[in-house]
Amino acid sequence: MAVVRGAEVVSLRIYDLSAHARLTPIMTIAVRQPADFLAHYLNGLLDAVNPGPYYLRIVDGNGRPILEIWTPGPGHGGYAVARKYAGCNLVTQDGLGIPPPCPSH
């Protein structure tokens, strides 16, 4: 297992929402370099929690929201991403038209 430098779990709660759903992780992760995290590590994290359900919140080192992504299951859910970071990952580019380029990472 590798530790992602500059990423820290701020909170993690696991809920049993219903008899029909899997256990549901609700997590907040703070990252020092949001662009780098979104470009290089987000997909691996999503692979670990898919197919869901889950709720993931990424914040910067000052607690400012970078990304919120949630899904009740495969093919459903949504996300909100800080516009500045919309071009950093294919997940965050979907449906936004032409996103701005990812800040240096």
Domain ranges in the chain?
Answer: 7-93
For the ranges 2-6, 25-29, 50-54, 76-80, the lowest mean pLDDT is seen at: 2-6
Task: Give the span between the Cα atoms of 61 and 73, in whole angstroms.
Answer: 29
**pLDDT tens digits, residue range 53-91?**
899 999 999 999 999 999 887 778 888 999 889 888 877
Region at 75 (left for phi over 0; alpha for psi -120 to 50; beta for the rest): left
Beta bridge partners of 25: 14
**DSSP-H helix ranges across 1-105:** 34-40, 42-49, 90-93
> Are 35 and 85 in contact, with CB atoms under 8 Å apart?
yes
User: How would residue 19 be classed by pLDDT, with cut points 50, 70 and 90?
Assistant: low
Instruction: Please list, in sequence order, all residues whose beta carbon lies within 8 angstroms of the beta carbon of residue 65, skipping any fewer than 6 positions away.
Output: 57, 58, 59, 80, 82
Q: How far is CA 65 from CA 12, 21, 51, 68, 74, in A?
A: 16, 27, 23, 8, 24
CA distance 25 to 83: 25
pTM of the model: 0.83
